Each structure stands twice: as structure tokens, then as C-alpha cells.
Structure 1
Amino acid sequence: MKGVLLVNLGSPDSTDVKDVKKYLDQFLMDERVIDIPYLLRALLVKGIILNTRPKKSAAAYKKIWWEEGSPLIVLSKRLKEKTQQKVELPVALAMRYGNPSIEFGLKELHDKGVHEVLIVPLYPQFAMATTETILVLAEEIRQKQFPNMIFESLPAFYNKQDYIQNLADSIKENLENFPQDYILFSYHGVPERHIKKSDITKSHCKIDGSCCVTPSPAHEFCYRHQCYETTRQVAEKLGLEEGKYSTSFQSRLGRDPWLQPYTDATIDGLAQKGIKNLAVVTPAFVSDCLETLEEIGMEAAHSFKENGGENFLAVPCLNDREDWITTLSNWIKDFQNK
């Protein structure tokens, strides 16, 4: 019997500092998130970050927390429930960090008699710190607890035309009554070294402005290329003019070089250059979360206006849009019919 496991990033169980600290510990101690030797990672995370960041992060979560709970969890549950209504296969939901865990989701499917699982990382673009860490942990759990299960994973869907159409339609609908001068496509940032580590050719990715547009097998696992390609295809679908949109990266951590240009500096710079109406799209996420609702929807919006901007729109993620549910359901049906 076949089944599906949808996996998103995750969220603290509550906005209490202790729950946020527990979540950040699990997240930041992941060797594919902070990819330095264990002792150095433990010193950085447990010795420094967890002594300062949980309180600040808890305050940020409180700003965006819904009555039903974490927006990311609530939206992911809606996505799962609506998808289940459109497909015959059992669908379970899991988070890479926090609850419900991947182990919980696999057990739910196992108890229903599922032995062949389609794992769907809910990230359009592949990255070490997102897709890869999900698949690695799922395989570890499978070997220990569900050795008879067979896994298949949905590849990155950054360039699948039905997804691109969903994203373009969402943007178009949200901009109908917004006098935008400029659209910024803001993606979650990763360290530059992650791009080079994911290069299966070990030589193509140079992050020099040309490698992302030069065809290569490396693009299958290149987060940077996939982000720019998502922007390019959506811009083409919407008929956006050159100079009226661009790509940036948010949420950097530490002093190592991360993908640039940085979203916060880009937004401030656009305002300072006279852009009065700015729309920001966040295509690295399919569900709204702290990074989209607080970092972009609140902090970036405030900074834009502080620097001279007037109207700011954070375009919602696809969340549980009907067209996105249909697209996801069709991918599941393809798996079912194999």
C-alpha cells in the first residue's frame, strides 16, 4: 500500500521561551544547518546562541502566533487535510523540527498498512538545510524502525510549470489592487559554502554570476540556481519588465558569507532610491511562517517605510490555495499510478 508524508520545517510548541529554546536547539544543532564540527557547533549553539536568542525569538513568535497555534503548523494541517480530500492515498504530516515529528508521521502511515511512502519536502528549491536533512533523517528512522518501508521523494519543484503557474497567479491576484513599482523575490538565505558542498560536479558552482545560468548537472542540487530560475520563470509568466524586479536572500546567521544580495539591505536601498510601492514575494516557502509574517511582513515593512517607502505588500505564500492543492494532489496521483 502506498502513502504520502508531507514534511515542512517546523515550529516551537508555544511562544514560551523554554519551548522556543528546545526548538532552536534541535534546529541549530542539525549538522546540515550549521555544518561545522560537532564540538564547535555545540559551543556556538548551546554556549552562545541558546543563551540569548530564545527570548528574542519568542517575542517574534508572539507577534505572529494565531489563536489556533503556530501559523506554519496550522497552515500545514490545512494543506494536508485539503490534499487528503482530493487523493485516495493516506496522507500524513510531519515537521523536520518540533511536532509532529517525522517518526510520528511514518508511524501513522505504517499503522495504516503503508509500506511505500512518497516523501514530499514542502520546499520548492533543494538545499542541504531543508530537503537533504529531511531525507537523511527519514532514512535513519526507516532503517531503525520501519526497515520494510520503501521511500520515494518528490524532487525539487522550483521549475515545475504547474507550480510556477500557481505562484504567478497568486502574485497577480494579490497585486490587483496594489500600486507596486517593484517586486522583490526574497528567498531564505544559506551560507555560500552550502552551495559548493551541494555541487555534485565539485567544480561548477563558483557563485560568480555566471555559473547559475550555465547549464550543468550541478543545478539539480543548487539552491542558488533554483531560486534565480524560479524568479525568472515567474517574471516571464507575469510579463515583468527588466529593472522592475530582482532576487534577494534573507535570514543570515553568523559572520560567514551567505548568499547575496541581502533582503534587508535591498529593501532599504530600494526605498532610498525612490521606490514608493514595494511588493515582496517569498517563494522559498509554501506556508507562511516566522520568516514571512514577522521578518518580511513586519520588520521589513517598517524598515522600508523608515527609509522613505510608502506602500509595502508581503504577498502571502501559497498556503492552502485551491490551485496549489490541486497541483500537489496531481503529483501524488502520479505516484499512485506508477
Structure 2
Amino acid sequence: MRHVTDLSALGWTAERLAELPPDSAPARVSRVDRGRLRVLGACGETRVHPAAVLYDEAGTGGPAVGDWVAVRGELAVAVLPRRSAFVRSVAGRTSAAQVVAANLDVVLVVDALVGETRLRRVERYLAVAWGSGATPVVVLTKADLCDDVPAAVAEVAEDALGVAVLPVSSVTGAGLDAVRALLGPGSTGAMVGPSGVGKSSLANALAGRTLAETREIRESDGRGRHTTTARELHLLPGGGMLVDTPGMRELGLYDDAEGVDTAYADVASLAAECRFRDCGHRSEPGCAVAAALDDGSLDPGRYRAWRKLQAEAHRQLLRVDARARAQERARLRTFSRALREQPNRPR
């Protein structure tokens, strides 16, 4: 790890001074190891213990990679307010959340230009990335193994509305300068994506040295295997920072309704044009979504993915928000009462 004494190189800004508790010093979390934090500060890299009061039931309050913490001696006593955070829900029927990385300027949604169809997977990551508060960018790796890179990029770009799509090759170096340009001095990016898409190779290529071990790709589908085992913040030669994350078998949404509508802005815009505000987009008259499906201007697969993520975000909201649960119960009671009061209802 390169030694840093100027905190601005780690993304520190003067306005954060007001957020520091008395008699503490700022440091940035580069790794979380079994309850201990590896942090970068004015004195270089050190290890500190997080105070118990930093953790909450939701799981979002504890220190995460990329967080700024206030340190007194060997104790982190506070997590400073986050400017952005990539958050996913913990697997299972739970309201708990996991902060993958915090205080990001850009989220690099990484997938490979080989193997299985990637559109729905990229859309899911973009929904969470839009909800993070950072700028999402799609990075498509292994361009050297793709027969028609422009066509593959165009296919993803058609669905990744308002997002740059960059093809790269960690082998030939093609496209790496465009990614480096996103990670200027003091800026922080995080790579997210499934296992085997080349995140570790990309991190090594951007850093110009080995940050993470890599494994040879499989001949059957051109995909690699999971190598990164923990999230870690790395300093890059150009002055930027990069968080490498393990591949995610499951990316659950956590309170990301707004991110879903941003990722699917075309579908959300159609839904806003429906005659009825509570349109179910099935057989209701004046449904703009149904009309777009009928005339072929809306891809049925993209529509189904939007509905699926909307429902997932709604379920998660009900788990974490007591007021939302009460409103949902009231809505269901009103709906049931309306059914009972229908004059032609079978008795």
C-alpha cells in the first residue's frame, strides 16, 4: 500500500472537519477484517478497533470499506456521514442490509463480453448503483475474446439508459485509459459484478501491479473463477482509489425503488402515462405500458424484469419500514372491503 500523508489524496475535503468529534483524527477504511479495521490516515496505514456503538440492527451503521471514521488512539469512535453507499440486502427473508462500499464517486458495473446473456444481470446492478448516489458506468471485460465488440456493446447500451458502456481488455490494454479517466486524483470507484467476469484482472491492470490473484478462464465459456475474498480499497498510480469486491452470487435490492425507476426510466415513463395511477399494466384501459408491449416498442423481458425488481423493492420496503407496512395493510383492507361491497359479488 502506497504511503499517503495528504488526506485529500484519499478523498478528504475541508467541509468534513465539522463532522469530526472532538479530539479525534480522520481515517479512511481500506478493509474490514474480523471486526478490526485497516485504515489509511495522515500517519499511514494502521489497524483500529471499531467501537460497539457504531453498529445498528439494520446493518448499515457499522464501518464499511470506503467509510471515513473518527479515530482516537486505537479506537474508531464514529462513522462520518456517507456521501454515497452501494447497499444490498442480506440474503434471505430479512430486513438486514450490507454496505458493500461507501463514499463512492463511480460504481463500475463489471460484466464480461463472453458467456451467457448479461442484460438482466446488468440491469439489476444498475438499479442498485443508481440508488447508491454514485455515478454508474458499465465496464464490459474480455473484449479480446469477443467476435463483435461493437454489437455486444450496443446491445447493453440500449438498456443501460444514461450510462456509459466501456469495453475493455485486461490482456491487450484496450479501453483501460477510458476507465482510468473515471478515477482521477482523490476520486473513488468500486467494481461490482458476479464472479468470473474479470474484476481482479481489471484491478491488476489499472493498478499496474498484482492486487488480487487471478485464475485461468474456462475454455467452455470464457469465464474465470472467483478469486477476490474480501472488499478492499486500493490506491491507484494516477491518484484515484478502487474498491475491489468479491463476486456476488445474489444481489438483493435494499430500499431501491428510486434506483429501479432510474435504471428502467423508459418503462417508468410509460407507466406514468397510464390513465389510472394504480394501473396494473395488464388489461386496464388506457395502459401505455400494455400498448408499448403490443406494438413492440417495449421488450417484454425488460418489462418483466422491471416488475420483478419493483416487487422486490416493495417487499424489502415493507420489511424495513413500519409506516409502509401499516399503509400496505390499510390498502389491503380497503381492497377487501371494496370486493365485499360489489353488488354482483357471488354469495
TM-score scaled by length of structure 2: 0.24
Q: Which has the higher contact order (CA 8 A, sep 6+)?
A: 1
Larger radius of gyration: 2
Answer 1 or 2: which has greater strand percent: 2
Answer 1 or 2: which has greater helix percent: 1
